Amino acid sequence: MEKETIKYTIKQDGKVTQEVFNVPGDACLNLTEDLEIKLGDLEQRVFTADYYQQPNLNKDITINTNTDVSF
């Protein structure tokens, strides 16, 4: 899995762009929400292919299959 990254670019006219990489689904919105509020009015939002991917919710688990139960 690639590293989750947020890239900010400040242009000469003062406009700030942000790009979020390797964050599947809408988690990117929560990740950047606080800073977007502090930066001011949002002019445009463009979603990448990562946004439309489903996050991997599978977790590695171990199940004990020992059925030797004594009463």
Write down the domain spans for the chain. Answer: 5-52
User: What's the pLDDT score for residue 70?
Assistant: 57
Under 8 Å between Cβ of 41 and 13: no
User: What's the pLDDT score for residue 52?
Assistant: 87
* Alpha-carbon span 7 to 21, nearest angstrom: 8
Reduced to 3 states (helix: H, G, I; strand: E, B; else coil), residue 19 is strand
Mean pLDDT, range 9-26, rounded to an integer:
91
pLDDT category at 48 given cuts 50, 70, 90 is confident
User: What's the pLDDT score for residue 36?
Assistant: 87
Q: Which residues of 26-55 are buried (b: 16+ CB within 10 A; e: fewer)?
A: eebeeebeeeeeeeeeeeeeeeeebbeeee
